[in-house]
Amino acid sequence: MKVGVISDTHGLLRPEAVAALQGCERIVHAGDIGKPQVIEQLSAIAPLFVVRGNNDQNLPWAGYLPDVLRLDLDGWPTLLVHDLADVPALLDETIRVVITGHSHKPLIEWRGECLYLNPGSAGPRRFKLPVTLALLDVQGVSIESRLVSLLE
């Protein structure tokens, strides 16, 4: 299963991101969406799992979005939350993938048997940080992840 992971769009869904997500069977958005149109556009590509980010908290249209989501990605129990600081209180031994956003800093790191993934920011560039998203190739017993740069 091909899974697209995106975060921190802050209202900007770049054409490069839309192109990179084509063919995904699932899309995960780790918060700071910015505008409901981002959800509409991503949902048109594939089934979407999304959590609210800190910048979405006071937006009336985002009130229905959860702050935390537990999902299964083809047999990989996954915890989706915007801020990595919230993970320790939510983590349990069943979780194999942790997806966060917030920092705008891409991260792919195995911590024991658990994959920690932050796709970075796909929205407006912040400081000199890269503009990225991530793609997962999930196949039962294996999971491969890679970052996709959206700007040269």
Tell me the pLDDT of the chain (152 aa) as tens digits: 999 999 999 999 999 999 999 999 999 999 999 999 999 999 999 999 999 999 999 999 999 999 999 999 999 999 999 999 999 999 999 999 999 999 999 999 999 999 999 999 999 998 889 999 999 999 988 999 999 999 86
Residue 62, domain extent = 2-149
The model's pTM is: 0.96
What b-and-e string marks burial along 77-90, b requiring 16 or more CB atoms within 10 Å of the CB? Answer: ebbbbbbbeebeee
* DSSP string covering 8-38: --TT---HHHHHHHTT-SEEEE-S---SHHH
> Terminus-to-terminus CA distance in the chain, angstroms?
27
Number of folded domains that form the chain: 1
CATH of the domain at 66: 3.60.21.10
